[in-house]
Every structure is written in C-alpha cells, then in structure tokens.
Structure 1
Amino acid sequence: MTALPPAFSDWFARNGWDPHPHQLALLAAQEDTLLIAPTGGGKTLAGFLPSLVDLHQTGRKGLHTLYVSPLKALTADVARNLARPIEGIGLAVRVGDRTGDTPAGVRQRQRADPPEILLTTPESLALMLSWPEAPKLFAGLRRVVLDELHALAESKRGDQLMLGLARLRGLAPGLIATGLSATVEDPQALARFMGAARVIEADPGPTPDIALLPTRTPPPWAGGGGRYAVQDVLDAVAEARTTIIFLNTRAQAELFFQALWLANDRGLPIGLHHGALARESRQRVEAAMAAGALRAVVATGSLDLGIDWGDVDLVIQVGAPRNIKRLVQRIGRANHRYNAPSRARIVAANRFEVIECVAALEAARAGELDGEPRGPGPLDVLIQHILLTACAAPFEADALYAEVRTAGPYAGLSRADFDACLDFAATGGYALRAYDRWQRLMLHDGRWQLRDPRAARNLRMNIGTIVEAEKLKVRRRGRGGAALGEVEESFAATLAPGDTFLLGGQVLRYDRIRDLVMEVTPQPGREPKIAVFSGLKFATSTELSARMLAIIADPARHRELPGDIRAWLDLQARVSALPRPGTLVCETFPRNDRWHLVIYGFAGRNAHQTLGLLVTRQMEAAGLAPLGFLATDHALLITSLNPVEDVAPLLRRPALEQGLENWFADTSLMKRSFRAVATIAGLIQRNVPGHRQSGRQATFSSDIIHDTLRRHDPDHILLRATRDEARHGFVDFERIDDMLARNPHVELHRLDRVSPLAAPLLLEMGRVRLGGTGQEMLAERMARELMASAGLDDLTHDDH
C-alpha cells in the first residue's frame, strides 16, 4: 500500500487523524476504481488524495483532475472542504467550479487557463466536450472523480456522464476514473456501469441507531402528511443539536413546515429546503445550517446527497421512506463522522406505513439495500451525444461506435441501433429527411460533420437529459419584487386571482402572471390552498414491498409491530385472509349499493395505477360497469355497480398486454413520453437564441411530429425509444409482470362487508373516476330515486 509523502502524513498528524485504509488503498490504485464508503468515512478526500499527491510531487499546471457531482451545491461544498488540505499542506493547487452558476467571465478564463482541479456537473461536462478546443483542454487530464455515482446511475444523467467519460478516455489516454458512493445495492453492477472498475469497500463503521419515533397518538388509518406527530417531532428537535427532517414531496414538506411553526411555542429556529425554492433561499438555509444557526431544517431529496454538516446529530424521516437505499442515505446525514453512529427516527404517516417502516428498519439494520436493475443505455441520450460530438469536430462513425461501446451502459449497443441513431442525428430519419431543419449532419471525406456550423450554438443551448415540467418564477408583486421560487405551470393553471398557496413556508396570494412570472402578495395568517408541486413521487421498492408482505403473512412476526397493528392484522386473518407471498390475495364486498374489488398486489403505486386502468377496461367490456379505482403502494381498490365473480381472467398477462397496447393507442401517454425523448434527442429544441418555447408550443410541435412518424415511419428510432420509456417510466408494466410471476395463484375472498385491511383504502384520497356505462347507469339510477322521492315518477310517461 502506497505511503503518504511526509507533507501529507504531517498534516494528518497535526489534525489528530490517521488515514483510513481505504484512502491509502485508493492512493495506490492504478486503475479505475469504485470506492464504497459510509457517509463521514472521508471518501471525498480519498478521491482527491491521489490527485493532490501527484500535483505535489510533479508540480504540474493545467487541468489535472475533473470532479463531477449530481448537484451544483455539492461542488461548492467540496471546494470548501478541499481548501483545508490544500492550505494546510501548502499546496500550489488551484480549484475552480464550472456549473450553470459560474459567472460568464470565469468560464471564459477557464477555457484558456483551467485550474488544476475543476468541479463540474454532467451537463457542464457535456458542454465542455462539445467545444472545438476540448482535445487541447483535456489532453493532460489524469484523473476523473465521480461523486455520489449511485445517484447519477439511477437516471439518464448517469448515461450521459458515462458517454462523456468514454470521450475523455479517447482524448486523454491513461486517465484513471474513481467512483465514490455510500449506498450501493450491487457494487459490481455499478462498477460495470463505470466500465469495469475495481471495487474497494471500506469498513461500514458503527451500526446506526434507528427506530420508530414514539408518538403521543397512533398514526391515522389513512393519509400521508404525518402532521399528527408534529409535537413529538418538535420534542425530538429540542433534545438534539441539529436535525434534518425529511419528507418525500415538496407539498408535504411545505405543509409539515407550516404545522411545525404553528406548534413551535419554544421558538426553535427551523428552516425549509427543497428544489422549488429560489436558489438564494436555499443558499441562506445552507449557510445557516453550516453556521449552526438552525436547530432543524425541513427538506426533501434536495438534501439527500452529501453536503457536510458535522453538527447534524439526528435525522427524522416523516412518512415511509419507500426505498431502503434512500433511508440509509438519509440516515447518513446524521453524525457526518466515521466513528459516530448515525441516529435516525421514522414517523409513519398511517397504519399501513407502520408495517413498511418496520420492514425498512429491519433491512437497514441488516445492511440490505434495494434498487432497480439498470437497463441498456437509452438511445435518445446517445443521439444527443452524437450531435454534440459533431459540434467539437468531424468524426468517423466506426471510431465513435467503438468509443461509445466502452461506456458501461452502451457496452451491448448493436451497430444497427448505433447506425439508426446516427441516421436520425443526420437526417431525422425516413419520415423527416425531406425537412431541412432536421438535416443536421453530412458526410464529407469519410467523416460526419455539422451541415451548418452555426447549428452548434442551438445544440449546446439544449444540452441535458432533465426534461422538467414547465415552471413559472414566483416573485413578490411590485417593481423589483424578491424572487421566492418557482411552481409548475400546470399548478399555476389551477389558480384564480385571489387564491392562496404555500411556498417557502409563506402563505402567498396569487395576483397575476406577467412575462412568464407569477406575481404574488404574502398573506400571513391566511389559510392556504394546498400547493401541489410535482417534485418526486416515490413508489415503494420491490424489495421493501416483499419484506412488508413477509411480515404481514407471518403471525409470529407480528410481535415486531405495535399492539394496535397486531390487532388489526389478527382481525383481518379471522375475517378474510392475510396477503402472503406466492398468492395474489383479492377481496370483493358490497357497500352503499356498490361493489368493491381489492387486489393486494404490493407492486407500487405506479404499477397499481396502470393495473387499475387495464383491469377496468376489461370490466367495462364484460358489462361490470366500473366506476373508478384507487391505487396505493400496497393495493388496488376498484369500485363497480356489478360484482366481479372471477378475478383471475382479468389478470391474465396476454389480456393485460393487449390492453396496454390499446391504451397506448387511445391516450396521450405516448405523446407525453415522446415529447421527453424528442427533447433529449434534439428533435424539439426548447431553447433557441433569444427565445424559449413555452411548454404549450413544445407540446404542439412534438404532437404533430409524433403523429407524422406513427403514420409514415412506425419503426422510427424515437418511437422505439418512446415505447421503452413509457413501459418502464410512466406505467411500470415490468412490476405488473413481476407481481404476476411471483404470485402464480389468485385467491378471491367473497365477503359480505368491508375487510379490516380494505377499510383504510376507502378513506384514501386520489380516486380515479371513470367514464363509461357505469357512470351512465349510476346517473339513471340516481335520477329514478330522485324522481320517486319527489313523487314525480308518474310524470315520466309521454302522455303527461
């Protein structure tokens, strides 16, 4: 194992530290490496240590190390942390950042005179690689550090980054890539994602102290806000130094933050942090936390990743975490130190969530994580990469294909798919090649190049794989009103002047929209409408659902649960049956002149939503008159006028598959998915010099192109990519497949009343109402009853 140079070992000794074994192992590594180390284990320093030692020993100038993180906020945090060893050891090393927040003047200077260490994001790296001077800029690059790699690998940003890494390897032969991660369910799979890296796993550190938070009252039967436990959370905050309170969505965070303030008689300083807030607001909260000025911050996924606040000694998760890996990641935010156990408490939002929380705690204590298998690299991201490669310089197709295949997600890419992507990038494909606007590349002397070099500007302005809902800036009304954040255009469309909503913990009155800015006036003391920010909507993972089902199915394990939950499950076992692995337990019962069918699928909300649409289509065709359905992470509840006598035929895979195809053809879902794919692939450009298309304009354009391709080129590469995206991302059909494969037996219990497990479902919000014969029959029945009660039933005859 390589020893530290004296200047470095002296610095460690002056700070009272010993280098960790995994830090020395990474220093000695001479190949691509994935380091798995717990939060607080010094993995960021481990990633930079080889670079700092090399720069110290060689005195090299110019770009030596590129650091890539998923968050701009992390680059600022890392810059602060790097300053400590650089100043303490006395290194002549410059550190700079290159993100969307970097001033234009600084970015311009970096192109001519880059720092030795450059901190950036996947999008900014893609932009830099599109510059003509990219070969010169990156020729001397020796190391690439990929932070929080597990988070990047879960989205198309990771695929984009791996294509960028493959390009860097071509420009700087011999460079070494280091991936850093704290929570990985399958280290070898993540190492393959990097392109065959060696895995180094650090000592996991002390076992975390995690448990359910004791509450004065038991959780409600339904709902997801957790506000019944506000006083208990405040008590826990008062006993800790600094607390992060995590919720799963922005709306829940806003509402919980407001509830905390209303109950905060002790005047504890508490902040709010989520992605819809103005950058200045987020930075103020981050600075206050770093300075120790806040006792707690209410947050969403915006703080999941490693901003280093050493004084945080408690994490509270409000609502079931939905995902074991996310829970472990959030637990790691408490006691950001290697030798101190993290302390976390969970607040279940309702009775079902108590079981889910117990299952998540059990998995976290056992160190078992969850995660979806990674599919092949998406083709829309590859198309964007091809176009950006052409922005830098002409390229040979054979050479680019070989380079792309060195990227982990694209190792299995066929030449036929590559050629289809290249053909689309060049001409738009068969159906679009007649239009000049999509004739973007041409072949000259065996190399592909931009047909019009001026197109490079447009392509660079549309870099990225994040296709967000159109958003409106929110500002106080009046000249120079302060920026407060942003909300989705779809949410703004539901508001009328005078309506109030929550943002940043403030009640705001909507006044008007002017120049794509929503102008508002603060309304302290008013009761708000609930702000529905889209944010992230998590589905319970397959692994967590399986653990939850195993607990429910085994009465011997019910002793792990609170007494009221044990009694609830015991009653369910006596009245009906407990859901169990291997059997899909279903129930049907009458209530209020309606019939209800419950399917305990434990497949996640998205999959149950899709299953509800597909099953009710079959019920409509069978004359069962479905009225609507409700999907939760654990079950599907369908309401109809006529009873289901046999549920098994409704769940046969061929019928569901055909229903999915028909649904795709009948709904706007495919167009919605196509719009995202087409935007990433550069077919739809949201940003052009001096102008930005509105969401409505982009939708109109993409819908026309989608319909054109369906008619004239149904096998178009973008339509293929869209189908893959829709099946996996929007409808989660793979989870329905998995649910049916795991449960070969279907068991229907015919009851005369609602069962204990089904009762909470009838209290849940979010029911999907269906049109069709069921609603028509219901309207006729209500009309007859109304006429009869008014004594008017005789007046329905024609002779009157």
Structure 2
Amino acid sequence: MSGDPLLPPIFSDWFDRRGWRPRAHQLDLLRIAGSGRSALLVAPTGAGKTLAGFLPSLVALAGRPKGAKAGGLHTLYVSPLKALAVDIARNLDAPIAEIGLPVRVETRTGDTPAHKRTRQIDRPPDILLTTPEQLSLLIAHREAAALFAELRCVVLDELHALVTSKRGDLLSLALARLHRLSPGLTAIGLSATVREPDELRKYLVPQKAPDAPSLADLVVVQGGAKPDLRMLEIDRRLPLAGHTAYQSMPAIYDLIRAHRTVLVFVNTRLQAEYTFQELWRLNDDVLPIALHHGSLDAQQRRRVEAAMAAGQLRAIVCTATLDLGIDWGDVDLVVNIGAPKGASRIMQRIGRANHRMDEPSKAYLVPANRFEILECRAALDAVEEAAQDTPDARIGAPDVLAQHVLGMACADAFDPVALYDEVTAAAPYVGLTWEEFEQVVDYVATGGYALRAYERFAKILRGPDGLWRVRDARTAQQYRMNVGTIIEATTVKVRLARSLRGKPGTVLPKTGRVLGEIEEDFAETLTVGDTFLFAGEVLRFEGLAEDEALVTKAGPGTDPAIPSYAGAKFPLSTFLAARVRALIADPFEWDRLPKQVSDYLLQQRRRSLLPGPRDLLVETFPRGGRHYLTAFPFEGRLAHQTLGMLLTRRLERARLRPLGFAANDYGIAIWTNRDLSERIGFEPRFLEDLFAEDMLGDDLEAWLDESAMMKRTFRQCAVIAGLIERRFPGQKKTGRQVTISTDLVYDVLRKHQPDHLLLRAARQDAATGLLDVRRLGMMLRRIQGRIIHKALDRVSPLSVSVMLEIGRERVYGEGADEILAEAEAQLLEEALA
C-alpha cells in the first residue's frame, strides 16, 4: 500500500494500480511545498524528479472543490529546452488522465502558434510549461499582474544547466518578478548532482544581502545504479587530429544493430549532419535512424521526438538539443562521439539511457583522435568517482539587466527604487549597487551620454510622477521580437523548392516545405549547382530568394559540403584538463590506455619530455625554413587562442617577428623567421618573462581594444541589451547589417565613452566567455617557475597535433581526414626519424 497522510487517497490508489510506492524524496518535497517553503531536489537520472516536482501542484489542484471555477494559472514549469517541455507535457498527461484530475496542461514555446499564445493570456491553463524566453515575454505583458496573481508554484527543471549562463541571469530576474507578483510563491528546483548545491538553493528564493544568503530547503536523493560507461576501442589506428571519428562509424553502426534504441550524441550540428550521413551509408539493414539538431525545422524535430516516444526509431543522431531530461525509457544505449569536454556533461548525456534510477545507464565514449582518448579516460575516471565539474556561480550580466528593465517598462510604469529592490532579490544581482543600477536605467533611457543625442536609443521615458514608462508601442513591439540571450548567427531558411514543369533548374520561390535554417555566412559561399548536406539529405543549391535558400534534392555522385555553424565547440573543462595533465605525467597509468596512445607518449618522452601536472612544456625547433615554438598548457582552445594573441604581441615587441599562431584544446604553436632556441638560450629568463602574468594587464587591454573577437563580444552584448535590434516588424537584419551597426557604435564608444555600460559588459564576458581570460590567468599563475624548455632539431610527437592546426581550411568529412592523415604522416615521419 502507498498510504501516507500527505497523499490523498486518489493518489495512493494510483500508485497502487501502477505497482509503485511513492519515494521518500517525493513525499519530502510534498511536505516542504505544503508548508509554503521552496526547495531544491538533487537526484540522479531516473529518480522521479519530474513527478516529485509536480506532485505538490497536482495534489493542490485535486483538492479544489468540485465544480469550482478554475482559479487561473496555478503552476509554471520552466525548461531550458523546447523538446523537454513538450516531453514533460506528454508524460504529465498519463497521471492526470489515470487519476481523473480536472487539470489543464499546455506548453508555450517559440514554436507555439500566436493564436494559442494569445488565448493562454486570456484563459490560462492550470499548468503552463514554458522556456525562459517565453517567461520573460509573459512578465513583460500588460496583463502580467492578473496572469500571475494566483500563481502558487514554479518548477525550474534542469536548474544546474540554466544558472551558468546569461539565460540563467534572465530567468533569475523573471523569478524575482514572480515572487513580487505572487508573494506566497513556492519555487521548486530540479537538478542533477552538482558540486555546490547551495548556489542553486540561493537562486530559488529572494535574497536580502550578499553576506547573508537565504537558502531554499535541500532534498538529496542518494544511490542509484552506477552507470556502465566504456570507451569504444577499435583495431584501426586513430589520428592525432580531426573530429569525425570516421574510423569508428562501422563499430557505431554495429552498436545500433545490437540495441533497441540508441542516442548518438555529437558536440556540433556539423558533426551531426556528417555522422547521420555516414551511418545511412552503412545502413544495409535500412534501420530507422533519425537526425535532431537545433537548425532543423521545428515540425521536423517534433516528428522525430514523437517517433522516438512511440518506439519507432532505432537511433537518433543528436546534439545538445536532447541533452537534458528527455524521458525515453526505451533508450538502452547512449553513444557520445568525441571527447565529452566535461564530467558533468557526460553524466547528463549518459543518463538518457535506461532512464530509471534502479537500472544502470549504458554508454560508450567514442574518441575521434588519440588526444581524445586521454580526455575520455579522464572522464571515465571522473564518472567512476562521481566527481563533478559544475561551473562556478555567475555575477549577473548588466546587458541582461538592461533587457529586463525595458521589459518591466513594457509591462507597466515602474518606480526605480522598487525595481532595484526586486532586482537585487535575484541571486546573481544581490551584490548590485544602486549606482550600478542607475547606470543601467540611464542606458535604457538614453543609450549612455555618448549616444543620448540620438532619439532612437531612448527606450524609456520618465514621467512627472517619477515613474519610468516604455517610450511607445513600437519600442515595446521591438522588445518582444528581440527578447532572450541566445545570440545565434544570422540564418536563412532552407526551402525544398519545386521545379517549374518542363524547366529543370528553374524553381518556384515560396513553394515546398521548409527543412530548417543554415547560417547566412555559409549560404553566401554557395553558387547555383553546389551541393551540401542538410536535414540528412544531399541538397542542390538553386539560389537565394529574400531570406530563403532554395534547394532541390541532388542526384547521386555528388560531393556535398557540410554547413558550418558558429559557436558550436565546447571548451575542455578545467577539471578534466587537470586530470589529462596528471594522466600524461604518470607512466604507471599508461597501462590503462590503448597501446597506440601509450606508445605515442613513450615516443614523446624519448624524443623530448613529458611535463608534470603543474608544468608547462615549451618546445622550439626549426622546420621548412621557419622556427617554431610550441607550448602545452592543456587549458582549452579559447584560452589558448587568447594566449596566442598575447604571446605574438610580446614576440613582436622583442623583434622576433612572429608570423602566426595556431591553437587547439591542448596547446599552441607560434612560428617566426627568427631562431627562438638561440634567443631563449641567450636570455635565461626569456620564457619566464614571455609567460609572465602581467600580460593580462596592458597587453590584454591593448589587444582587446583592437581585437575582432572583442568586437564580436560587444556585438552580442549590444543585441542582448537592445542597443541593436536583430528583428523589426516585417523584417530581419542581416548579419552584415548587425555587424556594421555594432562596429560603428563600438568605435564611437571607445573614443567618447570608454566606461560605457556595454563596453564593461563586453569586458566581463571576455574574462569568462569568448576569450577565457580568467582561466588563462589561473594557468599563468600555475606555471610560474615551472616552465620547462626543450630545444629540438625537429618537431616532436607531441607537437604534431597542434602543428596540424596550421592552415586548416573549413572542410569536413573524409576529404579533410585524408588531408590531415597525409600531413600527420609527414610530420610523424620527421618526428620519429
């Protein structure tokens, strides 16, 4: 029997009919929420987090008197993924129908039709499942106060994945507004295991002071079956570079044949298209294999999700769009192609297999090159130890706050003091000073003093009553069209157009179905007749019409390109990087590595040396009439690219005339016409000075001022803060238009207002995001006094991997792999001669 005093009989009966017993954490959450307190539930995959999160709401709604009029929106559920919101709605339908509850559940995402979104304002459901962006739009609505007046519970799913980004900042501000609109609100956070649960507990409840944090209650579920995680080992030799894993495709296909349903995760949309095509090429059994990534048309994604839920697919090749929480119990294997880049990320992904607490999740890691074998080994060890690498808590971004301030003006006139009190109740903004808040409001009102002469930058106006209001209806409409913090590259739709009868190659615009979107930069490289892979098809480009790329299906024998996507690469986490360094430095651990990797490390030790876990190995050698310097910090591509830019500046000052640099996740290579070995030998402190921490001072500032990457960072902040709109009523700016607009503003602000809010926001982002300056600073501190130089007469085995990054073109697939293989063979022959 499932009897419990907290559980009404109709729920106990339902558990009994299902042959279940309510779990302790589900009852704990019911008890806490019933007393009006907020709570964080931390639980492993398959522990029933979703049911636990909704149980208090379902019990409360079931207790309404029969025939009572619906009381408006009762529970709000926020998910980081559209697909997860749709999946949760489907899973909620079962208990609601089986128990016979008079509860209406609806979803609201960017894919929801406009007429349905309008109806949800006028006649809200009992439970609304939505995303952070849609929540921001809801609280900025004129009817927000009425809509949320009866709100009793908000459930934040996959909270650990939300709070580490600007999206989490935006959600925290929305949550602070909900707490004000509905003072008795209970917030429930659902999270996978995290390193610092207190950071999430602060996020859920209003904060009062930075040094006296308020915390939600904590419920932790212990136990759960240990995951069955392995590395896929094949007989074929893996290269030192490349990310296609083409050597492993036959083995991956065999895994699909041997299992019921498989999720094949890749790290980028580009990899997804390539992997799907390769698996179909091997698919002699004609197994139902599907493709799922964020650039595909929404209807196509929904069809794939529905087919998966119905058990009609044997495999889906997917990206992070299916990373979180999707509950497909029939999935019995996860395959992750490429290095996971983080321990927590791979734990999240492998939890999609056997999505039940008492069954082990089964997964394979598939390294694409020999360095990824090291990463995968480090990740396997971290999972075995249940170690986590969750990022640190964020300080709220000022550009996100500017967007929120405008949204609150769209909802109603606001008093700045009251809004400041509300904003600082959000955990990321608890340390915000009144002066900083005033600067944000002034920016929204004027654009800043350097731009205040231009009326179009004035978004809000202050009335005689001291309240701030949105300037006009057009400004409010532009806000609604541009809300959110996810800055995707500008895209064009891909439409499968129909050919004019009797005239092959002549297509009709606006005919045929939309397959999805490709990035504008890629579309502009295409000429009529070019072919490319998209949505699992080989397509022939027929031309551009307005904002659409018109395509037809290509015939056999074509050699298609694959669309490239910006911002798709995950950085190697600091946590895994440290483990990789320790693994390389300890020969006793090499027995756990494939022989081709241990042999490679042994060759490096004989030819040069291997650094200790805290050391920095620097190698110098001549090749092809040039002189090279390679260094191996193992701190991720972003930090290495920034390091490369700063080192080349210093080498230029030293009159060593650097010609260029290349970087990957593991190291950097710089080349010049001057003999670096000779200079280092002549000046004993040369390398210590070259890698000195003070490069993050004047050198960094000077580089940031002229860096194209800094302009890109500023561009993203300007779009989020509403300085530059991507979309207007009836039109959408091209990527080039946005770039030109923001670059002009950037130059004006640098000259006339160097302390402008958005320049500060861009620098804050540079420290932790695109340029990874904070991580670079930690590395420079780590290596002080621990730089080891090795002067060589030719390239070393370790240097081959980063040398392969030099001059790589934007090609993908077997052609690119063949080019890399040829270059690798030549370099290794030199290294081992």
> Could you say which TM-score interval applies, normalised by the shorter chain?
over 0.9
1:78-227 equivalences under 5 Å are 78-195=88-205, 196-227=215-246
Match of 1:569 in 2: 601
User: Could you tell me how far apart the structure 1 residues matched to 2:100 and 2:163 are?
Assistant: 36
Per-residue CA deviation, residues 387-425 of structure 1 (Å, 9 max, x unaligned), is: 111111111111111111110111111111101001111
Q: Residues 30-75 of structure 1: CA distance to partner in whole angstroms, max 9, x if unpaired?
A: 3111111122211111100000001112346321101111122222
Q: 1:761 aligns with which of 797, 802, 806?
A: 802
State the SS of the aligned residue for 1:317. strand
**Counterpart pick for 2:84 among 56, 61, 74:** 74
Once the two structures are TM-superposed, the CA of residue 112 in structure 1 deviates from its matched residue by 2.0
Whole-angstrom distance in 2 between the partners of 1:690 and 1:249: 31
Please report how far the alpha carbon of residue 714 of structure 1 lies from its aligned counterpart in structure 2 after TM superposition. 1.5
> Secondary structure in 2 aligned to 1:412?
coil
Which of 101-110 and 137-146 deviates more?
Answer: 101-110
Matches within 5 A, 1:391-430: 391-430=410-449
Question: Structure 1 residue 506 and structure 2 residue 516: aligned?
Answer: no
**Cα drift, residue 342 of structure 1:** 0.2
Q: Partners in 2 of 1:7 and 1:236 — Cα distance? A: 43
Say if 1:442 and 1:451, in contact at 8 Å, map to a contact too.
Answer: no
Question: Could you tell me whether the CA contact under 8 Å between 2:693 and 2:781 is conserved in 1?
Answer: no
Q: Deviation per CA, 1:586-633: give whole Å up to 9, x if none.
A: 111222222221111011001111111111222233232323222111
Matched, 1:22 2:25: yes
Unaligned runs of 5+ in 1: 770-800
Q: Distance in 1 between matches of 2:463 and 2:759?
A: 25
From 780, 785, 790, the counterpart of 1:749? 790
Q: Specify the SS of the correspondent of 1:730.
A: coil
CA deviation profile, 1:345-400 (whole Å, cap 9, x unmatched):
11111111111100001001111111322231000111111111111111111111
Q: What secondary structure, in the 3-state scheme, does the structure 2 residue paired with 1:312 have?
A: coil
Query: What amino acid maps onto 1:38 in structure 2?
Result: P
Identify if the C-alpha distance between structure 1 residues 287 and 123 changes in structure 2 by more than 3 Å, giving closer, same or farther: same
Preserved contact between residue 244 and residue 316 of structure 1 (Cα < 8 Å): yes
Verify: 1:494 aligned to 2:500, yes or no.
Answer: no
CA–CA distance in structure 1, aligned partners of residues 171 and 349 of structure 2: 24
For 2:370 and 2:715, the matched residues in 1 are separated by 39
SS in 2 for 1:253: helix
- 1:614 equivalent among 646, 652, 665: 646
Contact residue 615 and residue 656 of structure 1 kept, 8 A? no
Q: Is the 8 A contact 2:111 2:298 kept in 1?
A: no
Contact kept? 1:371, 1:541, Cα under 8 Å: no
In 2, Cα distance between the equivalents of 1:50 and 1:2? 14
Say which SS state the counterpart of residue 286 (structure 1) adopts: helix
**Superposition pairs of residues 726-737 of structure 1, within 5 angstroms:** 726-737=766-777
Ranges in structure 2 where 5+ consecutive residues have no aligned partner? 206-214, 499-507, 681-685, 811-833
Q: What is the identity, as a one-letter code, of the residue corresponding to 1:61? A: G
Task: Find 1:668's aligned residue among 708, 711, 718.
Answer: 708
Quick check: 2:84–2:326 contact (8 Å CA) kept in 1?
yes
Q: Percent identity?
A: 51
1:431 aligns with 2:450: yes
Shift of 1:768: 9.9
Are 1:470 and 2:490 matched, yes or no? Answer: yes
Number of aligned residue pairs: 769
**Matched-pair contact (CA < 8 Å) for 1:311–1:335:** yes
State the one-letter code of the partner of 1:147: D
Q: Quickly say closer, same or farther: Cα 1:392–1:319, change in 2 above 3 A.
A: same
Give the secondary-structure state (helix, strand or coil) at the position aligned to 2:602. Answer: helix
Distance (whole Å) between structure 1 residues aligned to residue 761 and residue 520 of structure 2: 26
Alignment pair present for 1:49 and 2:55: yes
Given residue 450 of structure 1, which amino acid in structure 2 is its aligned partner? V
Take 1:222 and 1:149, find their aligned partners in 2: how far apart are those partners? 35
For 1:767 and 1:204, the matched residues in 2 are separated by 47
Distance 2:540 2:735 in 1: 24
Q: Distance in 2 between matches of 1:65 and 1:578?
A: 57
Q: Name whichever of 389-398 and 183-192 sits farther off.
A: 183-192
Residues 363 and 369, structure 1, Cα contact 8 Å, conserved in 2 = yes
Separation of aligned partners in 2, 1:762 and 1:691: 45
Residue 649 of structure 1, CA deviation: 2.1
SS of 2:30 mapped into structure 1: helix
Q: 1:312-342 CA deviation, whole Å, 9 max, x = no partner?
A: 0000111111111110011001001121100
SS in 2 for 1:341: coil
1:4 paired with 2:11, answer no
* Pairing 1:40–2:81 present: no
Measured in 2, the distance between the counterparts of 1:105 and 1:466 equals 25
The aligned amino acid for 1:562 is P
Structure 1 Cα separation of the partners of residues 279 and 120 of structure 2: 45
Name the CA distance, whole Å, in 2 between partners of 1:510 and 1:222: 31
- Residue type of the partner of 2:41? L
CA displacement at 1:489 relative to structure 2 = 0.8
TM-score in terms of structure 1 length: 0.93
The letter for the 2-side match of 1:413 is L
Q: Which residue, 276, 290, 297 being the options, matches 2:295?
A: 276
Query: Counterpart in 2 of 1:778?
Result: none
> In the alignment, what sits opposite 1:238?
257
Given the superposition, is the C-alpha separation of residues 269 and 670 from structure 1 closer, same or farther in structure 2, using an over 3 Å criterion?
same
SS at match of 1:758: helix
Moved more, 548-557 or 184-193: 184-193
Q: Which residue of 1 aligns with 2:755?
A: 715
Displacement, 1:699?
A: 2.2
Aligned to 1:384: 403
Residue 819 of structure 2: aligned partner:
none
Give the structure 2 partner of residue 485 of structure 1.
516
Separation (CA, whole Å) in 1 of partners of 2:127 and 2:293 = 29
The answer for the alignment partner of 2:360 in structure 1 is 341
User: Would the aligned equivalents of 1:142 and 1:175 in 2 still touch at CA under 8 Å?
Assistant: yes
Scaled by the length of structure 2, the TM-score of the pair is 0.90
Task: Deviation per CA, 1:747-767: give whole Å up to 9, x if none.
Answer: 111122222212233334665
1:640 corresponds to which residue?
Answer: 672
Cα displacement (A) at 1:640: 2.1
Alignment-mate amino acid for residue 524 of structure 2? A
SS of residue matched to 1:586? strand
Cα RMSD of the aligned pairs, angstroms, is 1.8
- Which AA in structure 1 matches 2:736? R
1:772 alignment counterpart: none
Q: After alignment, is 526-535 or 12-21 more displaced?
A: 526-535
What is the alpha-carbon distance in structure 1 between the residues aligned to residue 614 and residue 781 of structure 2?
9
Q: Does 1:533 align with 2:573?
A: no
Within 2, Cα distance between the matches of 1:530 and 1:82?
39
Corresponding residue to 1:358 among 336, 356, 377 = 377
TM-superposed CA distance for 1:180, in Å, is 0.8
Taking the aligned partners of 1:50 and 1:372, their CA distance within structure 2 comes to 30
Listed as ranges, the matches of 1:238-317 within 5 Å are 238-317=257-336
Preserved CA contact (<8 Å) 1:242 1:313: yes
From 443, 459, 466, the equivalent of 1:446 is 466
The whole-number CA distance in structure 2 between the counterparts of 1:19 and 1:191 is 24
Aligned letter for 2:203? F
Counterpart of 1:592 in structure 2 is 624
Q: Matched residues in 1 for 2:166 and 2:696: separation?
A: 28
Find the residue that maps to 1:609 and give its secondary structure.
Answer: helix
| Distance change (3 Å), C-alpha of 1:452 and 1:277 | closer
Paired residue for 1:326, among 345, 360, 374?
345
Distance 2:708 2:331 in 1: 46
Report if aligned partners of 1:223, 1:764 keep a CA contact under 8 Å in 2.
no
The answer (yes or no) to whether the contact 1:72–1:121 under 8 Å persists in 2 is yes
Instruction: Report the Cα offset of residue 183 of structure 1.
Output: 4.2
